[in-house]
Amino acid sequence: MTKVQAIHSRDNPLLVRLRKLAGDPGGYRKLGEIWLEGDHLCEAFVQRGGVVKQAVITEPAWDEPRWRHLASLAESVAVVSPALMGTLSALESPSPLGYVVPWAGPGSMLAASPSVVLDRLQDAGNVGTILRSASAFGIEQVVALKGTAALWSPKVLRAGMGAHFRLHLVEGASADHLDQLRLPLVATSSHAAAQLPDVALPYPCAWLMGHEGQGLDPGVLARCRLTVAIPQPGGEESLNVASAAAVCFYEALRQHRAAGPRPSEGSVRTPAG
């Protein structure tokens, strides 16, 4: 049976802990928990079989059947005022519901799984958008090299729109770990002679996406079997990294479908899985 508790003090230990999670992008690494804010992320998590330790819900939402149902899927529910819920959110209009779920750790590499490697990407919106595109186009694994924005931070979670729970995520990897992928590495460069639509892409492969300003580290780029350019007849110097990633994922999927049967679906991944 779900345990329900009303909380009225901002100094309550649960709320103090959640403010740390909400305010520190890498806080989940210290506390071993993830804060999911909003019905979309919460529903995506439970739809993928995730186990919810704690829900936090506002008093008005607790009186509404849909919100109460979502909250009651947790082992424990804290009912708070809208003002207290506002202290847990960076949003102008805080959601009336959030989940606290366990973080499974930095993860380990899967071999021979269609992947994207993020090399020191800084913008949380870019990282979350790449995760969302990866999930949409059949990428199964996302590997974040050291220096990349925290994958489970609130901003990346919001931009990912639930994609986190359909992907295998690895954090804190180094260039040497890329050998464990056992895949050809493919990068993009505006200086490459080969144009993306004209090249037969290997499948599966690992796409490498670099820092927004500096691009890929030279040592990482040197590991790539193939470097391709994305045609830009409009004359722009470069694409945003998240846009470039989506173009690459789509082209890889298009070529693979044209070459044979559609690949089998990847296994479901959750923070607690």
State the average pLDDT for the chain: 93
Q: Cα separation of 86 and 24, whole Å?
A: 16
Residue type at position 25: P
Give domain limits for the chain. 3-102, 115-259
Q: Give the residue carrying structure tokens 């070459």.
A: 259
Contact 139, 203 (CB under 8 A): no
Tell me the pLDDT band of 261, cut-offs 50, 70 and 90: low
Q: Per DSSP, what are the bridge partners of residue 199?
A: none
Q: In what order do the strands lie in the sheet with 115-119?
A: 168-173, 141-145, 115-119, 206-210, 185-188, 226-228
Burial class (CB in 10 A: 0-12, 13-18, 19+), 23: middle
Q: How confident is the model at residue 168 (pLDDT cuts 50, 70, 90)?
A: very high
pLDDT value at residue 209: 98
Rounded Cα distance between 265 and 70, Å, is: 27
The CATH class given to the 115-259 domain equals alpha beta
115 pLDDT above the threshold of 70: yes
Higher pLDDT, 260 or 241: 241
pTM: 0.92
* 34 membership: H or E segment, kind and range: strand 33-37
Q: Which whole number is the average pLDDT over 166-192?
A: 96
- Residue 144 and residue 224: Cα distance in Å, rounded? 16
Angle between helices 39-47 and 65-72 (to 10 degrees): 50
Helix, strand or coil, per DSSP, at residue 156: helix
Determine the average pLDDT of the residues in 77-103. Answer: 95
Average pLDDT over residues 21-32: 96
* SS3 (DSSP) at 122: coil
Model confidence at 153, pLDDT cuts 50, 70, 90, reads very high
User: CATH second-level architecture of 3-102?
Assistant: 2-Layer Sandwich (3.30)
Same CATH topology for 3-102 and 115-259: the answer is no
Average pLDDT, integer, range 236-244: 88
Out of 38-42, 154-158, 162-166, 236-240, which region has the weakest mean confidence (pLDDT)?
236-240
Query: What is the Cα–Cα distance from 35 to 19, expressed in whole angstroms?
Result: 9
pLDDT(199) > 90 = yes
- Mean pLDDT, rounded, for 225-247: 91
